[in-house]
């Protein structure tokens, strides 16, 4: 009996060891499966998070594209408005120069007419003086006085007409100069207004972009 017991004890010990090894193996397998499941869940959650971040980034990109498109449209409109204003200012400058040249030409023409009248008046005086020398003595004084009075009247009338026309042309020239100064002032004010509007538009777009950045 002792011999049989001695033979059975190692067998039982071996069986227990194998049983423990199987349990340990199964425990390791379950632990590994649990770790794999947890890692899989973590991976799935991480992939979901990355997908959400990608969608958010796509939405942000679309927002940026819309904002950039609006900014380009505003810049294009302002550029076109500035070009139109520049064309109008150039046309006004040319028209003003034409008016000044036209007034100068009229002044020159009037001055030439006055000079011709004065020349004809002087010539008439000489003719009357020659005629008086050939006239009879008794008519000499009467004709001389009449011619002198007529010539003086003509000279006075011509002088008055000339001075009035000079005053009128001077007033027209001053008015034209004032108009030119006003046009230059309006152009500078308009350019300053357009620059300020352009800067306000750019600042508003930048603030909108910054607000979207901070919100995201």
Per-residue pLDDT of the chain (216 residues; tens, 9 = 90+): 444 545 455 566 667 777 878 888 888 888 888 888 888 888 888 888 888 888 888 888 888 778 777 777 878 888 888 888 888 888 888 888 888 888 888 888 888 888 888 888 888 888 877 776 766 666 666 766 777 888 888 888 888 888 888 888 888 888 888 888 888 888 888 888 888 877 877 777 667 666 766 655
Integer Cα distance of 197 and 69 in angstroms? 18
The Cα 129–Cα 127 span in angstroms is: 5
What pTM, to 2 d.p., does this model score?
0.29
For residue 2, the model assigns a pLDDT of: 43
Length of the chain equals: 216
- Whether residue 130 contacts residue 67, with contact meaning beta carbons closer than 8 Å, is answered with no
The tokens describing 30, both together, are 């379950």
Residue 78 contacts residue 198 (beta carbons within 8 Å): yes
Write down the pLDDT at residue 5.
Answer: 46
């Amino acid at each position: 009996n002792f011999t049989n017991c001695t033979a059975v004890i190692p067998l039982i010990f071996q069986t227990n060891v194998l049983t423990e090894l199987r349990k340990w193996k199964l425990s390791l397998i379950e632990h590994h499966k649990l770790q794999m499941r947890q890692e899989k869940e973590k991976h799935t959650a991480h992939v979901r998070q990355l997908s959400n971040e990608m969608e958010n980034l796509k939405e942000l990109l679309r927002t940026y594209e819309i904002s950039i498109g609006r900014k380009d449209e505003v810049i294009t409109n302002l550029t076109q408005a500035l070009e139109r204003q520049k064309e109008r200012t150039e046309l006004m400058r040319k028209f003003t120069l034409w008016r000044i040249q036209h007034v100068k030409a009229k002044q020159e023409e009037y001055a030439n007419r006055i000079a011709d009248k004065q020349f004809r008046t002087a010539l008439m005086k000489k003719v009357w003086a020659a005629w008086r020398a050939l006239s009879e003595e008794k008519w000499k004084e009467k004709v001389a006085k009449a011619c002198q009075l007529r010539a003086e009247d003509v000279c006075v009338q011509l002088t008055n007409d000339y001075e009035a026309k000079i005053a009128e042309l001077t007033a027209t020239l001053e008015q034209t100069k004032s108009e030119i100064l006003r046009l230059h002032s309006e152009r500078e004010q308009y350019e300053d207004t357009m620059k300020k509007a352009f800067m306000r538009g750019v600042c508003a777009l930048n603030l909108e972009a910054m607000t979207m950045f901070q919100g995201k």
